């Protein structure tokens, strides 16, 4: 069977680079063939996999500079049925790509909102007054360059090579230690690993709502590597909490913490246990 891997497209995105890394790992581990399936948005990438149109989705979940990719958390919470198979951390190094003769002639810069945010200091310093325009992906941004010589795009040098476009500056991210964590999602049950992700809502606005869950983990010596709040979308001040814990859901102390949390939470969703792979630059 050929494994289809959905990712944010078109070809050349950072998500595709993460999907390629996962595909190589999978082929090496299992001998399975893979095929990459680009989708126009992160939400559509995840939904296609939930509907069985693709076997795997590789999506960004957090960047070291800009933080959470909210659409990923919101969609995974909503759809409920996907499980995390693996996390991949990739270094991110942005380039300013343009057909303009030099930086001074660039009037607008297209990119994904996360990439624009990760380079905002550089843009202010080197192309002051430039107008940022956010599109669905870093490589969708490149499609604007052929129509407009005074436009620039922020994407990877890999994308510039794929589309035969010139790099005017690189690297341009404001912080050198820029990396993104991706989740590999599928309808298969997750296997096992060093980390477990879950999310829960609590009965509306009880005082100390987050304290008790944190105590459930701390009292069992379970470290939480990440705590993220997202709105429930019911009313302002009403939150879901996403937690990554260090441990596997099959360990008895993790199981007992999760059982205690299930009794306390209004809704609890477990997204699986998995290993984190880090690719060096």
The contact pattern for a second copy, residues 92-131, with x = CB under 8 A and - = no contact, is: ---------------------x---x--x----------x
DSSP letter string over 79-116? H---EEEEEEEEE---EEEESSSSGGG--EEEE-HHHH
Q: Which of 233, 252, 263, 280 binds a second copy (CB under 8 A)?
A: 233
The contact pattern for a second copy, residues 47-66, with x = CB under 8 A and - = no contact, is: ---------------xxxxx
Q: According to CB under 8 A, which residues from 234 to 273 bind a second copy?
A: 234-237, 239
Count residues near a second copy (CB under 8 A).
46
- Nearest approach in angstroms of CB 114 to a second copy is 10
Bridge partners (DSSP) of residue 229 are 241
Under 8 Å CB-to-CB from 99, ≥6 apart: which residues?
145, 146, 149, 165, 166
**Cβ-based neighbour number of residue 241 at 10 Å:** 18
Task: Tell me which H or E stretch contains 243.
Answer: strand 239-246
- Nearest approach in angstroms of CB 186 to a second copy is 23
What distances in angstroms separate CA 12 from CA 36, 42, 57, 150, 266, one per listed residue?
12, 15, 16, 22, 41
Q: Which region holds residue 193: left if phi is over 0, alpha if psi is between -120 and 50, else beta?
A: left
Q: Which of 28, 102, 177, 189 binds a second copy (CB under 8 A)?
A: 177
Q: Is 79 a residue that touches a second copy (CB under 8 A)?
A: no
- Nearest approach in angstroms of CB 113 to a second copy is 5
The CA distance from 23 to 34, in Å, is: 6
Q: Which of 35, 218, 259, 262 binds a second copy (CB under 8 A)?
A: 218
- With contacts defined by CB under 8 A, name the span among 11-19, 149-157, 160-168, 226-234 that binds a second copy: 226-234
- Nearest approach in angstroms of CB 225 to a second copy is 6
Name the one residue in this structure whose structure tokens are 């939400």: 43
**Helices 70-79/42-50 angle, 10° precision:** 20
Q: Is 158 a residue that touches a second copy (CB under 8 A)?
A: no
- Residues contributing to the site for a second copy (CB under 8 A): 43, 62-67, 70-71, 89, 113, 117, 120, 131-136, 175, 177, 179, 181, 207-208, 210-211, 214-215, 218, 221, 223-231, 233-237, 239
């Amino acid at each position: 069977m050929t494994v289809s891997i959905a990712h944010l497209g078109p070809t050349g995105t950072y998500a595709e680079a993460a999907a390629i890394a996962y595909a190589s790992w999978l082929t090496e581990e299992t001998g399975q063939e893979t095929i990459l399936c680009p989708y126009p948005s992160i939400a559509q990438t995840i939904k296609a996999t939930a509907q069985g149109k693709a076997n795997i989705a590789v999506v960004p979940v957090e960047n070291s500079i800009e933080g959470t990719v909210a659409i990923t958390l919101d969609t995974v919470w909503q759809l409920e049925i996907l499980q995390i198979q693996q996390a991949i951390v990739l270094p991110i190094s942005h380039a300013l790509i343009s057909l303009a003769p030099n930086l001074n002639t660039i009037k607008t810069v297209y990119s994904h909102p996360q990439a624009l945010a990760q380079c905002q200091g550089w843009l202010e310093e080197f192309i002051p007054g430039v107008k940022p325009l956010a599109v669905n992906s870093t490589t969708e941004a490149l499609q604007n360059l052929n129509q407009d010589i005074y436009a620039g795009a922020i994407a990877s040098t890999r994308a510039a090579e794929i589309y035969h476009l010139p790099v005017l500056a690189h690297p341009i991210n404001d912080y050198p230690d820029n990396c993104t964590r991706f989740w590999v999602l599928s309808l298969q049950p997750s296997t096992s690993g060093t980390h477990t992700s879950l999310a829960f809502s609590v009965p509306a606005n009880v005082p100390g709502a987050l304290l008790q869950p944190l105590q459930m983990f701390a009292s069992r010596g379970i470290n939480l590597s990440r705590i993220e709040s997202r709105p429930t979308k019911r009313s302002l001040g009403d939150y879901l909490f996403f937690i990554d814990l260090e441990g596997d859901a099959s360990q008895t102390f993790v199981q007992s913490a999760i059982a205690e949390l299930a009794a306390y939470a209004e809704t609890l969703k477990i997204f699986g246990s998995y290993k984190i792979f880090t690719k060096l630059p």
